[in-house]
Chain A
Amino acid sequence: MTALDERAGAPEGTDAPDPHGERPGRDFGPVRWVPRLLVLVPLAYWILFHIPNTESYVAVATDAAIYSIVGLSLNIIIGYTGQLSLGHQGFVGVGAFTAAYALTVQGVPFAVTFVLAGVLAALFALVIGLVALRITGLYLALITLVFGLALETSLFEVPEFTNQGGGQPAVRPDWLFDDGRYYLFCLAFLAAAVYLDYRLLKSKVGRALLAIKENERVAEAFGVNVTLYKLIAFTLSGTLAGVAGALLAFRIGIVTGSGFGFFLALTFVLMTVVGGLGSRIGVIAGSSLFAVLDYILTQTPVKVAEEFIFRTDALKQFAPQFIGAFLLLLTLTQFPGGIAQQNKAILDWLHGKRFNPHDLLHPGKESGPGTVEGSSVRA
């Protein structure tokens, strides 16, 4: 079909080109893997081999991996079960303090500290889960918020845990002392979390949670024990957050209560929503983005531009908040699926189709478990 045809006679023709870029009947065969591999292989190389050996940003990449675990953890509560947790930094903090205290003060073996961190955070999450059985929506958000704030000013201030307020040291064992190696260690945990998340969605557990999110009565009619599965969701999420907390403790090397303030909780929720609720890839992308935001603003050419334009580097103090708020607005108004919504567009583009960020071809698919409509966020 020539360009002229396209302009002139298209309307009646059944084989008229789709205005949104779908070109039917074009099969690339095995060749379609070429653009994919061209993107994925360098990406994998960069993540697995380049980052560990790059001193300047291996630390921030480690953060990205840890944040991704937190994002996946939060996604279980918000994205799948449809509850809201504004106190997630509390679970992460419990994990961090548990790991640091157990290793440094009690002399517990390194590996066991992760188990303890996971179990203890899971217990805290279970308590919040019990609350969530009775209270939902805005009030649950409020209670989780208060829970996080209360932990920050109570448990995280106990002198024994915080080394008399100076911060509890958490020193990695020798074999993990190298930053690059620790980064890979965190990546392994992220891989495990991704596997867990994958299994969750592929099993009756995930389906039960999605049913609960949408309509508890329907879930019950389908035989789902709503009470049990809500608690499973919170416990699982708490475990992941606790382990992520332990990883964070060993990444920083010293744990202080002020490191787990409300702003961290906001960042966690923001990165999950902006990444795309219910989407694994989206949440990881969103979490990584927010983990490295600070670094981008202070260490890269962006900073140079910043200083050139504003003649100050004070911008970095509040820029992340503004960027976060802007991205949230963009997500809520334009792209309800978050970053994940671009997944299909990018894949299509790699297949030789036109880049179509709004996914107009399949409007139904937009409203997946990843949408922020419905009860999850507005509640």
Chain B
Amino acid sequence: MSVLEVRDLSIRFGGLQALQDVNLEVNEYEIVGLIGPNGAGKTTAFNCITGFYTPNTGTVRYRGQDVTKSPPHVKAAMGFGRTFQNVGMVKSSTALENLMTAQHAKAGYDAGAGLLGLGAALNGEKRLREKADAILDLLGLQSIRDKKVGGQSYGTLKLLELGCALATDPDILLLDEPTSGMGPEESDELGERLLTLRREFALTMLVIEHHVPLVLRVCDHVYVLNFGRLLAEGKPSVIQSHPEVVAAYLGGEAPEALEATEETAEDAELDAQLEDAVHAHHDDTVALPAQKTSDEEPPAPARPRRARTSTSTPRPKKRAPRKDASS
């Protein structure tokens, strides 16, 4: 039985169809990637899965149980640990306090016992503190144990946020762009860490990620979202060379439009990769019904060169209304 199963998920915000018939499945002990251009609906999908949004149609199943309508805190207690795109932590509290707050659902005593200071609460607090310390050790963050989270660097925050998600004692971890704000080396390190965490805690993960090398390295399976629909799914190596995906990321099959822009050595190398990819065979890619509909759409306008690192690239005006779907 899969850990997480999403069937025909659709959600609409006013006139905007943010997600349309999205299906995805995460099996035990898998790291599944969710990629796609800005505004594709990745974070919206996360919010639907974790209960922050209620989808218009579709179901979310956790180990066979229908949890579509369960509120976020219930899901957190069930074993959904998540991080946010722009760091979700209590900034005015210290690292230790954050890690203790994150263990709220697993504290082992109720509010009344806590207020009266009964033995159960005192023992519970001790346990929470020990676990928080263990996580700080694990992530090498003991140095900021008693420091306010607010003043730390973005990379540190991202790492600590991962720690907080771990502190919720998750069964499935949903990470929203864990490497944003990190350099390439830090990103590689994080990839290594994710693999280690999976091994040590027997975790299942669903990861939104833009950093392609990381996706290739850690993910067992990748889903690609574009304009709220699933564009493709498959093994990362296959997805990398999927023409539709390449088109979605680079804006149509218009390589000559790209040549006009400035090139660096790295870009040239990636170009070569992509070029190969476009011409490569891709028989084993799973074709999805969604693909047909996207064929009917007019070819997307050519996007600026650096669309791959799409966090900072402004989108062409035509697509502007879709932007809201991203978060």
Give residues in A with beta carbon < 8 Å to B.
195-196, 199-200, 202-205, 207-208, 210-211, 214-215, 217-226, 229, 232, 236, 364-365, 367-369, 371
Query: Contact at B88–A207, with CB atoms within 8 Å?
Result: no
Docked pose: A223 CA to B164 CA in angstroms: 11
Complex partner residue of A210 from B50, B92, B168, CB under 8 angstroms: B92
Stretch in B32-40, B69-77, B276-284 with 4+ CB within 8 Å of A? B69-77
Query: Contact at A232–B105, with CB atoms within 8 Å?
Result: no
B89 CB within 8 Å of chain A: yes
Pull 25 A–B residue pairs with CB atoms less than 8 Å apart, ordered by A: A196-B115, A199-B121, A200-B114, A202-B117, A203-B109, A203-B114, A203-B115, A203-B117, A205-B111, A207-B97, A214-B90, A215-B90, A217-B72, A217-B84, A219-B73, A221-B72, A221-B81, A222-B102, A225-B71, A229-B111, A364-B150, A367-B148, A367-B150, A368-B92, A369-B93
Docked pose: A367 CA to B149 CA in angstroms: 11
Residues in A whose Cβ lies below 8 Å from that of B52: 217, 220
B131 CB within 8 Å of chain A: no
Residues in B whose Cβ lies below 8 Å from that of A195: 117
Residues in B whose Cβ lies below 8 Å from that of A205: 111, 114-115
Instruction: Give B53-81 interface residues, CB cut-off 8 Å to A.
Output: 71-73, 76-77, 81
B101 CB within 8 Å of chain A: yes
Mask of B96-115 contacts with A, CB within 8 angstroms, 1/0: 01001111111101010011
Complex partner residue of B88 from A196, A217, A232, CB under 8 angstroms: A217
Complex partner residue of A204 from B73, B88, B111, CB under 8 angstroms: B111
Min CB gap B164→A, angstroms = 7
Docked pose: A195 CA to B116 CA in angstroms: 9
B151 CB within 8 Å of chain A: yes
Residues in B whose Cβ lies below 8 Å from that of A217: 52, 72, 84, 88
Query: Contact at B92–A200, with CB atoms within 8 Å?
Result: no
B125 CB within 8 Å of chain A: yes
Question: From A221, which residue of chain B is reached at the shortest CB distance?
Answer: B82
Query: Contact at B92–A222, with CB atoms within 8 Å?
Result: no
Query: Contact at A225–B101, with CB atoms within 8 Å?
Result: no
Residues in A whose Cβ lies below 8 Å from that of B124: 204
Complex partner residue of A223 from B73, B88, B92, CB under 8 angstroms: B73
Min CB gap A118→B, angstroms = 14
Question: From A224, which residue of chain B is reached at the shortest CB distance?
Answer: B104
Q: Among A203, A214, A220, which residue has the most Cβ atoms of chain B within 10 A?
A: A203
Query: Contact at B90–A211, with CB atoms within 8 Å?
Result: yes
Residues in A whose Cβ lies below 8 Å from that of B116: 199
Question: Assuming the A-B contacts A217-B88, A221-B84, A222-B104, are A203 and B125 also in contact, with contact meaning beta carbons closer than 8 angstroms in the complex?
Answer: yes
Docked pose: A226 CA to B109 CA in angstroms: 17
Q: Among A200, A210, A215, A221, which residue has the most Cβ atoms of chain B within 10 A?
A: A221
Give residues in B with beta carbon < 8 Å to A.
50-52, 71-73, 76-77, 81-82, 84, 88-93, 97, 100-107, 109, 111, 114-117, 121, 124-125, 128, 147-148, 150-151, 164-165, 168
Query: Contact at A210–B90, with CB atoms within 8 Å?
Result: yes
Query: Contact at B82–A199, with CB atoms within 8 Å?
Result: no
Query: Contact at A365–B148, with CB atoms within 8 Å?
Result: yes
* Further contacts, 6 of them, CB under 8 A, given A203-B115, A217-B88, A367-B148: A200-B115, A202-B125, A203-B111, A220-B76, A236-B115, A368-B148
Docked pose: A211 CA to B92 CA in angstroms: 9
Query: Contact at A364–B147, with CB atoms within 8 Å?
Result: yes
Query: Contact at A220–B115, with CB atoms within 8 Å?
Result: no
Query: Contact at B76–A223, with CB atoms within 8 Å?
Result: yes
Complex partner residue of A208 from B91, B104, B117, CB under 8 angstroms: B104
Question: From A196, which residue of chain B is reached at the shortest CB distance?
Answer: B115
Min CB gap B163→A, angstroms = 12
Query: Contact at B104–A369, with CB atoms within 8 Å?
Result: no
Query: Contact at B121–A223, with CB atoms within 8 Å?
Result: no
Min CB gap A10→B, angstroms = 26
Min CB gap A196→B, angstroms = 6
Query: Contact at A207–B89, with CB atoms within 8 Å?
Result: no
Docked pose: A261 CA to B97 CA in angstroms: 39
Question: From B167, which residue of chain A is reached at the shortest CB distance?
Answer: A222
Min CB gap B44→A, angstroms = 14
Docked pose: A224 CA to B100 CA in angstroms: 12
Min CB gap A369→B, angstroms = 6
Min CB gap A129→B, angstroms = 14
Min CB gap B169→A, angstroms = 9
Q: Among A224, A226, A229, which residue has the most Cβ atoms of chain B within 10 A?
A: A224
Going nearest first, the 9 A-B pairs with the smallest beta carbon separation are: A203-B114, A223-B105, A223-B76, A220-B72, A218-B88, A207-B101, A364-B151, A204-B107, A223-B104
Question: From A225, which residue of chain B is reached at the shortest CB distance?
Answer: B73
Docked pose: A210 CA to B104 CA in angstroms: 12
Question: Assuming the A-B contacts A226-B73, A364-B150, A367-B150, are A218 and B89 also in contact, with contact meaning beta carbons closer than 8 angstroms in the complex?
Answer: yes
Docked pose: A295 CA to B92 CA in angstroms: 37
Docked pose: A226 CA to B105 CA in angstroms: 12
Residues in B whose Cβ lies below 8 Å from that of A215: 88, 90
Min CB gap B174→A, angstroms = 9
Residues in A whose Cβ lies below 8 Å from that of B90: 207, 210-211, 214-215, 218
Question: From B115, which residue of chain A is reached at the shortest CB distance?
Answer: A199
Docked pose: A222 CA to B76 CA in angstroms: 6
Question: From A200, which residue of chain B is reached at the shortest CB distance?
Answer: B115
Query: Contact at B92–A214, with CB atoms within 8 Å?
Result: yes
Docked pose: A204 CA to B73 CA in angstroms: 14
Question: From B71, which residue of chain A is reached at the shortest CB distance?
Answer: A220
Residues in A whose Cβ lies below 8 Å from that of B91: 214
Residues in A whose Cβ lies below 8 Å from that of B101: 204, 207-208, 210-211, 219, 222, 224
Query: Contact at A222–B114, with CB atoms within 8 Å?
Result: no
